[in-house]
Structure 1
Amino acid sequence: MDVLYINSSTLFITHRPINNTGAEMTVYEQCKKMPAVLIWYLSLQFINMFMGIPANLMVLWLTYKNRADSSTSDIFILHLAVLDVLFCLIPPLELVNIVFLTTSSTWYVLRFFYGIKDSSPLFLSCICLDRYVAVVHPIIFTELKDRQHRAVLAMLVWLITLAYATAKCVGTIVNFEKVFTVMILTAFTFMVYCNITILWVLRQSGPSRDEMHPVKKRAFKIVLIILAIIVFNYFPPVALFPFQDYFSHDVFHCYIHYIAFGLMDFSSSIQPMLYLSKEKLLLSLRCCKTSTTHNQ
């Protein structure tokens, strides 16, 4: 068996459980005594594919269609949608590799796409940063609104993403899983801080604590939903991966591993659905405003 999969330090690089026996076995055979979570993971990945691809393509179409009236964070939403479309293409290959194949060659392709998905919190962090500056530092936001720094930041994130995915694909860097752990912990902490601060500022912005402007109230609800999604999708790997040594080998590689990545990967569907629901809300508000104007 390829030494790449024998070294336990490559767990997060491969996304593939390690076989301690040295025999050629599929991932499903390695977890045949506890297959429930693996089946759930694969089912979730296919749901992600059938729901995530059309949802993200719709996001791409809407951001292109509304580019003349787009928000400042739409550039990051667009790049995140491209990233998620790429990732949502892999479930058929993933199913074949987990259930049927013992060869290591096709895992190079999967590891590259896993690396791309691992970096998605970087684009989410950019969105959170943009909203944080808009709400907490509106003067600075106004001064920077029409500059090209967002496009430059998006390109920088793609360079980091491709470099990370390539390194993960090669799979020869010792203790490379620590890069993912540090990245997810940092991004998660940053996103939670930004969103909690935004919620606090919006909550305190009314004439009294019990009053809030309707527009700010809608923003408050949207940010609250985003915060809940961030916690739901990204808290499991943040909470579980640093404690790998406290779980038995089989429990971690056949349960914890796929629970954490399954929930994190499902963000590829949840994020575009949230964006589309927000666009539907804005369209409804515009229609109501137009109707009121005509009635007057």
Structure 2
Amino acid sequence: MDISPLNSTSVPAQLSLNTTAYVNTTFSVFDGCEMYIEAILFDLTLQCMNVIVGIPANLLVIAILIHNRKDPSTSDLFLGCLAFMDAYFGTITPLSFLNLYVWHSKEVWSAIKFSFGVKDTSGPLFLSCICLDRFVAVLFPMTFGQLKHIKYRLSLTLLVICLTFAYSTAKMVGGLPNFEKIFTAEVLAAFAWMVVCNASILFVLKKSRGAGKDDIHPMKKKAFKMVLSILCIIVFNYLPLVALFPFEDHYTPDVFRCYVQPVGFGFLNISSTIQPLVYLSRLEKVPFLPDACVKKFTSCIATEKSENVSAKEPSA
């Protein structure tokens, strides 16, 4: 799996790092899937969006977190690490194409495999950390007050980074039996945890409301919006993987490699763009950007939401 387009459709489908042809031959991104290119084009389009939109958005998130460092949220460390990893992943797409058609370097290809290992692991784990932070804050506020010191989040961050680098290094080296099952188990576990965690938080926050919609405490309302956005992200970006990958044996090898894998990882990869945009959309004021741009952006979103609500209302 680690040398198929499962998580790297911008590299040849069945490339072996032991072959010397890699250094001398130009490969196509559709190598081995020339008759099934639609899903690969879909994944490549999303990866290009990560470069055009995702990298600037993630850098802006990092800049905002640094700007707000005097009044940080307890989840800012996880958000910053996630934004950094996503920005790093976005820079790999241009390198992939350059290596395919210009450099033909085995070392660069190994670095690309490492980056896909980072994406496989860092996203689910850091999102799980954010969910854990919100889960404890809402359901166990007294315990959360005792664990607000930064040392606990630093320890958890270091653990996630170590796991990420260990997985990415193993992916880069390759050759481990049933290695792909590690990723499948990780995604299934992270998805289940995040869904249960966020569903519990949403239930508690909804239950804490008074008779009116605006009676909820402002801090709880902020937490409600955060966990709701995370729940939308994990359903949109991780549900395709969870729904499709466990049934690998039910597909033919070509269909799984050329259709199922690129589509599943396409949804996962685009999270590098969706996550920072969702974070920015929750901010009341975005530093470094003119107020006119922010107002125009928010007004467009408000107009679209109102149109959607009007469309859903039953006619008299």
Same fold (TM > 0.5)? yes
Q: CA deviation at 1:46?
A: 0.9
**Amino acid paired to 2:210:** P
In the alignment, structure 2 segments of 5+ residues that lack a partner are 292-316
1:178/1:214 CA distance change after superposition, 3 Å: same
Q: CA deviation at 1:276?
A: 1.2
Match of 1:95 among 91, 94, 97: 97
Q: CA deviation at 1:106?
A: 4.0
**Aligned-partner SS, 2:138:** helix
- Contact kept, 8 Å, 1:9 with 1:175, in 2: the verdict is no
2:58 aligns to what?
56
Q: CA deviation at 1:145?
A: 1.0
Match of 1:168 among 165, 168, 171: 171
User: Are 2:301 and 1:276 equivalent residues in the alignment?
Assistant: no
Aligned Cα root-mean-square deviation (Å):
2.7
Q: CA deviation at 1:99?
A: 7.3
User: Are 2:140 and 1:144 equivalent residues in the alignment?
Assistant: no
1:86 aligns to what?
88
Describe the superposition over 1:84-110 as per-residue Cα deviations: whole angstroms up to 9, x where unpaired.
Answer: 111010112333566789876543121
User: Are 2:264 and 1:260 equivalent residues in the alignment?
Assistant: yes
Counterparts of 1:94 and 1:252 in 2: how far apart (Å)?
A: 22
Q: CA deviation at 1:183?
A: 0.8
Q: Percent identity?
A: 44
Q: In the comparison of the two structures, how many residue pairs are matched?
A: 275
Match of 1:230 among 229, 234, 241: 234
User: Are 2:239 and 1:243 equivalent residues in the alignment?
Assistant: no
**Amino acid paired to 1:17:** A
In the alignment, structure 1 segments of 5+ residues that lack a partner are 1-7, 285-296
- Contact kept, 8 Å, 2:50 with 2:270, in 1: the verdict is yes
Alignment of 1:57-206 (within 5 A): 57-96=59-98, 106-119=108-121, 120-206=123-209
2:39 aligns to what?
37
1:294 aligns to what?
none
Describe the superposition over 1:66-90 as per-residue Cα deviations: whole angstroms up to 9, x where unpaired.
Answer: 0111100001001111111110101
Counterparts of 1:90 and 1:169 in 2: how far apart (Å)?
A: 14
**Amino acid paired to 1:137:** F
Counterparts of 1:269 and 1:210 in 2: how far apart (Å)?
A: 31
- Contact kept, 8 Å, 1:13 with 1:169, in 2: the verdict is no
- Contact kept, 8 Å, 1:26 with 1:102, in 2: the verdict is no
